[in-house]
Amino acid sequence: ALHAHMAVFDDDPNVANGLALWRTLRLLLFVVADGWLSFMGNEFAHPDEVDLPRPANHFSLAKNFRRWNLADDVHLKFKHCEFFEAFLSHWENVFGSQSARHLFVVTCSEEEQVVVLERGDCLVAINLHPTQSYEGFHTGCMYSGPEMQLLFDTDEERFGGFGRLTARSLHPVLSGKDSRPHSVKLYLPSRTGAVYVSSHLFDQRYAARWDADPVMHFTADDFVAHLATVKAECMQAIS
C-alpha cells in the first residue's frame, strides 16, 4: 500500500519503482482484456482496501470509505494514477483494441522479462525487468511500414514517469522475424510499457479522432482541473 512518499516532489525510489510497475502491469492487463472494470478507488491506486462492515471485522467502519480527495490533490502522485487510467480508457475509445479480434503474443521471455504482443492495430512492448533496459530490442510484428510510431508509454512524465522515451518517435519497419512478416527495433526501458502503431495507418485511420480528444493531450494537472469543472457542472445541474 502506498501510504507515504506520495508527494509529487518526493523522489523516494521504492515508490517510483512501485508506481512504474503499477502502470506497466495496468497496461498489460488492459491490452489482453476484452473489457475493463475500474471503480472504488482502484483507478488511482487507493492506498487502502475496501472492507464493508461484516461479522468478521466486528462491523467496523474503519475502511468503509474511499478517500476521493487523494486523486484531486495536484500535490500528490495519485493524480498521475487516475489520469493514466483515464488515458487508457480514452485510448480504447479511439482504437477499440479490447474489441479487436486480433491478439498475438510475439515474444514472452522469462529471462529478459519482456512481453511483446499485437492487439488490433497496436504493437505493445512490455519490459517488466526492474533494472535492465534494452537498446535496439528486435521484435517481429505483423504491421507493415514504412515506420512504427510510438503512440504513448507508461514512462511519460505526465503519468509520473521519468520520460526515458521520445514522444512520437519513429522506428523503421524491417524484414520479418519471430515468424512475423515484419520487424522493428525498439528501446525498452526497465519497468515500462509502450504502444506503437504504423505511422501510415495512424494518419489514415486514427489521427483525427486522437487529436479531437483533449484527454490525449492533457497533463495530470489538466485532468484534475477538467474533473473539477465537470463535478462543478454536475452539482450545479442537480441543485
Q: Is the pLDDT of residue 1 over 60?
A: no
Give pLDDT, residue 82. Answer: 94
Determine the pLDDT at residue 2: 64
Q: How confident is the model at residue 79 (pLDDT cuts 50, 70, 90)?
A: very high
CATH number (domain holding residue 17)? 2.60.40.1180
Residue with cell string 514522444:
167
Residue-level pLDDT at 190: 98
Please check whether residue 169 lies inside any domain of the structure: yes
The predicted structure's pLDDT at residue 122: 98
CB neighbour list of residue 116: distance below 8 Å, 6 or more residues apart: 105, 106, 107, 108, 123, 124, 125, 126, 139, 141
Q: CA-to-CA distance for 192 and 155, rounded, in angstroms? A: 6
Q: Lowest mean pLDDT: which of 46-60, 80-94, 124-138?
A: 46-60
Q: 116 is in which domain, residue-wise?
A: 13-205
Percent of the chain clearing pLDDT 70 (strictly above): 99
Lowest mean per-residue pLDDT among 22-31, 35-44, 186-195 = 35-44
Domain assignment of residue 48, yes or no: yes
Distances (CA, A) of 48 to 12, 31, 135: 20, 26, 37
| Within a domain: 238 | no
Q: In the chain, how many domains are there?
A: 1
Q: Among residues of the chain, what percentage have pLDDT more than 90?
A: 85
Provide the pLDDT for residue 45: 85
Rounded mean pLDDT of the chain? Answer: 94
| Confidence (pLDDT) at 220 | 97
Judge whether 142 lies within some domain. yes
pLDDT at 36: 85
Q: Would you say residue 131 lies in a domain? A: yes
pLDDT of residue 39: 76
Judge whether 25 and 42 are in contact, CB under 8 Å: no
Phi, psi of 80 (to 5 degrees): -65, -40
Give the Cα separation of 86 and 64 in Å (integer).
25
Asked if residue 217 belongs to a domain, the reply is: no
